Amino acid sequence: MARHGREIWIGGTTTDVVQESAHRIVAHLHRQLAHHERASMVLAGGNTPRSLYERLTEFEEVAWDRVDFFFGDERFVPEDHPDANVRMARETLLDPLHIPAAHVFAIPTHVSPQEAAAGYEHTLRQLYQTGRLTWDVVLLGMGTDGHTASLFPYGSWTTTTEESWCMPVWNAPKPPPTRITLTPAALNHAQLAVVLATGKEKAAAVSAALESDASPSEIPIRALAPSHGQVLWLLDEAAACALTQTLG
C-alpha cells in the first residue's frame, strides 16, 4: 500500500520484516554511495531493530566504511550500560562491521542531559552544514503508546517553540526516565524514514498512527513527515491486524 511519501509493507512474520527492511536499507545506502562519498544512517533503540542489525552485517557488499552512524535517541545511562542504545548497536552492528570509531556519532551521556543534547545538536548541525550528515536512512521503532525515538505523548517536545534538533527528556514513561532524543525537526530531514513495528501489542498504535486523526502530541509518530523524503512502514501481520483495507 503506497501513497505519496508513504509506503506500508506488511509481511507474514517478524523474520519477513527484518529481511525486507535489511534489503530496503541496503538498496538505499547503495544508491547514495553510488553518487556520494558518504552515506548516513540514524539508528533506533528498543528490541525490534536488534535482528535487523544482525542481518545487516551479512551484507558485506555495502561500503560500510563510508557510512556514518547516528542515533535517534539514547537512554541516559553510561554508554557501556546494558540499556544503552549505543551498546546494543555496537554489539549487533557496529563492531561486527568494524565501523571506525570516527564514523559512530553516539549521543554523549557523560555530561548533563542538557549539555548532551546541546552537544549532539551542535555536532549534527556542523556535519549537516558540511554535507557529511545526509540523513539517508532514519530507522525508528514505535512503542505501544505511539512514541518514537524518545518523543513520548504530551512530552515537552510538543510545546517547545525553538527549532531544536535534539533535546533532553525527563520522566519518560518507558524506563529509564531520563533520555536524549532527536526532535521531529531533525527526524524530518530523512530521505528514507523506516518504521519497524511487529507484534499484536503494537496493533492499536499502528492503527492510531496510520488511520486516526490523533494529534502528534497524542500519537508522537504522527509528527513524522519528512519534507523531502519517504516514510516506509514495515509491519508484520500481527501489528497490521487492526488496519482497514482502505488504507493507502
Contacts with ligand 6PG by CB under 6 A lie at 44-48, 73, 75, 85, 141-143, 147-149, 174
Residue with cell 549505543: 86
DSSP state of 209: H
CA max distance for the chain: 49
Task: Give the number of other CB atoms < 10 A from CB of residue 216.
Answer: 17
Q: Cβ 131 to ligand 6PG, closest distance in Å?
A: 27
> Which CB sits closer to ligand 6PG, 62 or 137?
137
Q: Cβ 4 to ligand 6PG, closest distance in Å?
A: 26
Q: How many CA atoms lie within 13 A of 233 on its CB side?
A: 31
Q: Cβ 38 to ligand 6PG, closest distance in Å?
A: 24
Rg of the chain's alpha carbons, rounded to an integer? 17
> Which CB sits closer to ligand 6PG, 64 or 71?
71
> Which CB sits closer to ligand 6PG, 147 or 222?
147
> Which CB sits closer to ligand 6PG, 62 or 139?
139
Q: Cβ 50 to ligand 6PG, closest distance in Å?
A: 8
Report the run of H or E that residue 232 belongs to, with start and end: strand 230-236
Per the document, the length of the chain is: 248
Q: Cβ 152 to ligand 6PG, closest distance in Å?
A: 9
Q: How far apart are CA 119 and CA 125, in angstroms?
A: 10
Torsion from C-alpha of 72, 77, 78, 81, nearest 10 degrees: -90
> Which CB sits closer to ligand 6PG, 6 or 75?
75
Give the cell for residue 11: 509481511
Q: Cβ 109 to ligand 6PG, closest distance in Å?
A: 12
Residue type, 131: G
> Which CB sits closer to ligand 6PG, 49 or 229?
49
Q: How far apart are CA 42 and CA 187, in angstroms?
A: 9
Pairing of strands 166-169, 179-182: antiparallel
> Which CB sits closer to ligand 6PG, 12 or 176?
176
Q: Cβ 52 to ligand 6PG, closest distance in Å?
A: 10
